[in-house]
Amino acid sequence: MDRPAAAAAAAAAGGGEGGGGLGPGPAGGRRPPRVVGAPAAGSRQPSVETLDSPTGSHVEWCKQLIAATISSQISGSVTSENVSRDYKVLRRPDIRALRDGNKLAQMEEAPLFPGESIKAIVKDVMYICPFVGAVSGTLTVTDFKMYFKNVERDPHFVLDVPLGVISRVEKIGVQSHGDNSCGIEIMCKDMRNLRLAYKQEEQSKLGIFDNLNKHAFPLSNGQTLFAFNYKEKFPVNGWKIYDPVSEYKRQGLPNESWKISKVNSNYELCDTYPAIIVVPTSVKDDDLSKVAAFRAKGRIPVLSWIHPESQATITRCSQPLVGPNDKRCKEDEKYLQTIMDANAQAHKLIIFDARQNKVASTNKAKGGGYESESAYPNAELVFLEIHNIHVMRESLRKLKEIAYPAIEEARWLSNVDGTHWLEYIRMLLAGAVRIADKIESGKTSVVVHCSDGWDRTSQLTSLAMLMLDSYYRTIKGFEALIEKEWISFGHRFALRVGHGNDNHADADRSPIFLQFIDCVWQMTRQTPIHQNLKELLAVRAELQKRVEDLQREVAARASASSERGSSPSHSVTPVHTSV
């Protein structure tokens, strides 16, 4: 397997530059201050990370364009205490020097989003880059990002890091960098480790470390996320891009077997489910409440997708609360039978349990469990043997260690194999394929769940739906898929990613959505022609229409010229209709 596929999860670390390369410390503990020097001489510089690469140049050009178009008066944010007394002396200004200085200042300014404000500006900061060595420049900290820029290089060196991507910030000692004796190391969620060195007085005056900690982890410091300060106006209201009723109607719902229900409109049935759900028509609301009491977190089986021809369905839920005494719920058993009966072409219901068999058995001893054949005689239980969030987190940590900042070419494949990342990606894709195959080829309805039904369940249902329904392979459809299967059904984005929280050792963090994106990337690599096919066909149809209009216009001009008895001033070239 090629390296890009193996390092798909590391793609986010590319950016326009590179970062430091120190591995994470012991789990659950903060590391003591360390002394670090300049990068080791002769270290390999990956071609994708160089400043003068086509990608790097394009990113830099885009950033300069944004800086030129977004109005950001940084100078207005600097307090009078920071203004040098030399500027208060009444003397004739050097116009040329002022112009050059203003130009330089503008080039160093950080582009701001509407609602974004600057918290600190520090000059003469040293970024210790593992690829190009130490780079001096100006560091700007806002309530959204950390922005470092050197304008003396050609092209300019820019390090633009959204604060939300920062996992933790630690103080370090530095050497061999002159007066810049203080330093910080920034561990990022996108696999980068960034190291900065600066003067002691700058830390005392501006509190670089404190500012970064405060604004990178606002929830841990009694503040709100920057999203609530974001003021940009958009031509389209993003909150209305996904409409559940419209999406279910697109699927042909409601019908005689399934109804669109508002039983959860006040989130009383299940507080992690959407307000609008699709359930079997014949099931009463009272029975739904009893089923909810038998499912973890009240997450009852509800429809995610229905096949337009066979009426086979994908339904999702959480584990049943069977417990060590094999507790049963007749309403839940009848409910799953009703789901099976809604599909007249099959006489069996396949239950895909994403967990490992042994883990499901352990959960049963703790009050959870799985569907037994004795309680659900018309159901077939299949364990997909996918590991839990803790295993996935450890796999990503190992992947970071081998992929950044340098790759050991001689042992690359064995190192990747040792992370098990691709093995877990394969297991997810294989599970989704099995679900899609049962729906498409077997014409059999399926139920998908893990423990709580918001991690592996979301991965599997959304991937299977992406395979089955071409609508989800369009931009708008992909947006709807994520809104529906991930956001509305309660995937814990903030907890899994650690948004705004400084507890980097939180055991609930895990790259669940990142794995889904990697799986989607793998799918686009395997079958690129199928992606956005509808949009491509629509573009082709529009081009064909314009060609035909052009043909008619040319023919009309030629006819008018003939009627006047004169030859056109130029020859009429036939327009070919093939697009």
Label residues 139-169 b or e (16+ Cβ within 10 Å = b): bbbbbbbbbbbbbeeeebbbbbbbbbbbbbb
Q: Are residues 205 and 284 in the same domain?
A: no
Q: Are residues 512 and 391 part of one domain?
A: yes
188 and 315 together in one domain: no
Instruction: Please tell me whether 456 is known to bind a ligand.
Output: yes
363 annotated as ligand-binding: yes
**How high is the pLDDT of residue 182?**
83
Q: Check whether 366 is labelled as a binding-site residue.
A: yes
Determine whether 289 is exposed, middle or buried from the number of CB atoms within 10 Å of its CB (0-12, 13-18, 19+): middle
d(CA 132, CA 345): 63
Position 213 scores a pLDDT of 93
Average pLDDT value for residue range 349-374: 97
204 pLDDT tier (thresholds 50, 70, 90)? low
Pick the range with the lowest mean pLDDT from 18-22, 103-107, 159-163, 528-532.
18-22
Is 451 among the annotated ligand-binding positions?
Answer: yes
Question: Is 125 inside a domain boundary?
Answer: yes
342 and 360, same domain (yes or no):
yes
Q: Is 455 annotated as a binding residue?
A: yes
Q: Are strands 313-316 and 258-261 parallel, antiparallel or unpaired?
A: unpaired
Q: Average pLDDT of 409-431? A: 97
CATH number, position 498: 3.90.190
> Are 207 and 282 part of one and the same domain?
no
Separation between Cα atoms, residue 16 and residue 51, nearest integer Å: 7
- Cα–Cα distance measured from residue 531 to residue 76, given in angstroms and rounded to the nearest whole number: 47
Chain-centroid distance, C-alpha 284: 38
Average pLDDT over residues 448-459: 98
Same domain, 316 and 218: no
- Same domain membership, residue 251 and residue 224: no
Better-predicted residue by pLDDT, 449 or 23: 449
Total domains present in the chain: 2
> What DSSP designation does 440 have?
H
Verify that 267 and 385 share a domain, yes or no.
yes
What was the pLDDT predicted at 271? 98
- 63, part of any domain: no
The pairs formed by 56-63 with CB atoms below 8 angstroms and a separation of 24 or more are 56/16, 56/17, 56/155, 57/155, 59/15, 59/16, 60/16, 60/155, 60/156, 60/158, 63/16, 63/111, 63/158, 63/160
CA pair distance 345, 353, nearest whole angstrom? 23
In the structure, what pLDDT confidence band is assigned to residue 319 with cuts at 50, 70 and 90?
very high
Domain ends where: 228, 254, 269?
Answer: 228
Residues 6 or more apart from 419 whose CB is under 8 A from it? 395, 398, 399, 402
Per residue in 18-64, pLDDT (tens digit) is: 333 333 333 344 334 433 333 333 343 333 333 444 444 444 444 44
Is 308 a domain residue? yes
Same-domain check for residues 209 and 338: no
Tokens 């609602």 -> residue: 115
Q: State residue 238's pLDDT score.
A: 84
Give a yes or no: residue 72 inside a domain: no
Environment class of 264 (CB within 10 Å of its CB; exposed 0-12, middle 13-18, buried 19+): buried
β-pairing, 277-280 vs 302-306, is: unpaired
Mean pLDDT, residues 398-416: 92
Q: Does one domain contain both 250 and 173?
A: no
The residue whose two tokens read 């789990």 is: 27
Residues 327 and 422 in one domain: yes
pLDDT classification of 336: cutoffs 50, 70, 90: very high
Continuous segment of H or E residues that includes residue 462: helix 456-468
Domain annotation covers residue 337:
yes
> Is 453 assigned a ligand-binding role in the annotation?
yes
Domain of 347 in residue numbering reads as 238-528
CATH of the domain at 156: 2.30.29.30
- Position 23 in a domain: no
Q: Is 229 annotated as a binding residue?
A: no
pTM of the model: 0.74
Tell which of 528, 550, 567 closes a domain. Answer: 528
364 Cβ contact list (under 8 Å, min separation 6): 322, 323, 324, 370
* Residue 402 near residue 190 (C-beta atoms within 8 A): no
Listed residues 193, 228, 263: the one ending a domain: 228
- 121 in a known ligand binding site: no
Would you state the pLDDT for residue 564?
60
Q: Render pLDDT for 243-264 as a digit per residue (tens, 0 to 9).
A: 999 999 999 999 999 999 999 9
Annotated binding-site residue? 23: no
- Strands of 313-316's sheet, edge to edge? 302-306, 313-316, 446-449, 349-353, 379-383
Q: What is the pLDDT of residue 7?
A: 42
Identify whether residues 210 and 322 lie together within a single domain.
Answer: no
> Which among 75-79, 232-236, 441-445, 570-574 has the top mean pLDDT?
441-445
Q: Is 454 labelled a binding residue?
A: yes
Mean pLDDT, the chain, rounded, equals 81
In a domain, 102, yes or no: no
In the block, tokens 């229409």 appear at 545
Mean pLDDT for 404-426 is 94
Q: Which residue type is seen at 30?
A: R
Which positions are catalytic? 450
Is the preceding peptide bond at 218 cis, omega within 30 degrees of 0? Answer: no
pLDDT of residue 35: 37
User: In this structure, is the dihedral angle defined by the CA atoms of residues 372, 373, 379 and 380, taken in order, positive or negative?
Assistant: positive
Instruction: Say if residue 450 carries a ligand binding annotation.
Output: yes
CA neighbor of 301 nearest in space, from 288, 311, 312? 288
Q: Establish if 75 belongs to a structural domain.
A: no
